[in-house]
Amino acid sequence: MNPGDRVRVERADQSYEGVLLPSTTSDNLVVKLEGGYNIGVERADADVDVLERDVYDVGDGETSDSSEVEFDTDLPTISLISTGGTIASTVDYRTGAVTAQFDAEDVLRAVPDLAGRANYRGRVVANILSENMTPDVWQDLAAAVYEEIEAGADGVVVMHGTDTMQFTASALSFMLDAPVPIVFTGSQRSADRPSSDNVMNAVCAVEAAKSDAAEVLVCMHATESDDVCALHRGTRVRKNHTSRRDAFETVGAKPLGEVNYGGGETEVSFRRAHDERGEKDLDIQPELESEVELLKFTPGMDESALDVAEGKAGLVLEGTGLGHVHSGWTDRIAELVDSGTTVVMTSQCIWGLLDAGVVEGEDMLPGTAKVKLMWVLANAADPAEEMREPLAGEIQERSVPWE
């Protein structure tokens, strides 16, 4: 038996089933269970049956160091694009290091459960921590996704660090029209941790990329267990926890859909209206205005904080409550608008600011509003009017958290 094989381990009166992982010693077995956690048992105390061979097992107890992913004409083709992050990393069990070598074979070797679900193409756009993400990389990624779809990909999975995933997903929502799903996924916990979420998130993302929803989606755990992944619209999602596996939430509504993972069968379902596969023609508008700032107002903040927007093309203000800032800021904001800076207030504006020329951002998330403003300033004839229009589901008619 070899790492990657599905095994049943019986010890005393207990039985476990899961995927055999590499072990640091020959005396122990490490098995990843269906619930996502690992167990270790001593070989001498266990009876082991191999239930299913790893896709890379070449027989005679040996595995291949390299492999060719065979093309199956009956399966869709999914492009796997890496920008870095935890999910694109694999574990070198000889050293304990987590590395980010990435191609289609690497992904299948790390996540054997992906085999047989699709044909895969692997591509690296960047290998960076997500906190180092920049608009330039967003543009490179949009171009790569465009090229993959143009070359015949039936769906795209983008592997991305979780800290800034919502910003990149928003950017691609505005930069691309696509006739197929573009699904972002990541991992809150690295592959060397017993509770890693990388396997389930990757499998669910591939299933979502095969679905009929031609949207930019974020696919991450919906609960702390390995049972369901939520499918969030890229412009309405936010990371709300540093480490929980279900850290991502759709703000103001339920997610668009989900992927049921438990029980061995995966099933994609949608509960809300969405763009459908084939409805849109492939198009890209990757231009962005980089001189845009996002400023969060807090009580007692001095008006000089607005100096960050001096000479900039755009400013998004994140106000308190329904979108309030100190009433004494009105004149300074009006000066910014008069000088050519487009100022957007997220959520509902207070009286006075509309007269000062501020654009009402409705219920857009502040981060999404910044990304959208970067895009409309570079692409729209009337940026203020375009900011008021819903372009990619970023503005809702009303926010109903449990609808």
The catalytic residues are 86, 162-163, 239
Question: What sections of 120-272 are H helices per DSSP?
Answer: 135-150, 165-175, 198-209
Output the CA–CA distances (angstroms, integers) from residue 318 to 204, 240, 337, in the order listed. Answer: 33, 17, 17
For residues 264 and 18, what is the distance between their CA atoms, to the nearest angstrom? 12
Sequence letter at residue 160: H
For residues 88 and 202, what is the distance between their CA atoms, to the nearest angstrom? 10
Return the SS3 of 194: coil
For residues 191 and 98, what is the distance between their CA atoms, to the nearest angstrom? 8
For residues 8 and 48, what is the distance between their CA atoms, to the nearest angstrom? 6
Angle between helices 165-175 and 135-150 (to 10 degrees): 50
Beta bridge partners of 92: 97
> Which of 213, 217, 221, 257 minimizes the C-alpha distance to 235?
217
Token code pair at residue 248: 């991502």
For residues 316 and 107, what is the distance between their CA atoms, to the nearest angstrom? 39
For residues 114 and 200, what is the distance between their CA atoms, to the nearest angstrom? 10
% helix, strand, coil for the chain, step of 5: 25, 30, 45
> Which of 206, 210, 222 minimizes the C-alpha distance to 257?
222
Whether 345 contacts 319, CB under 8 Å? yes
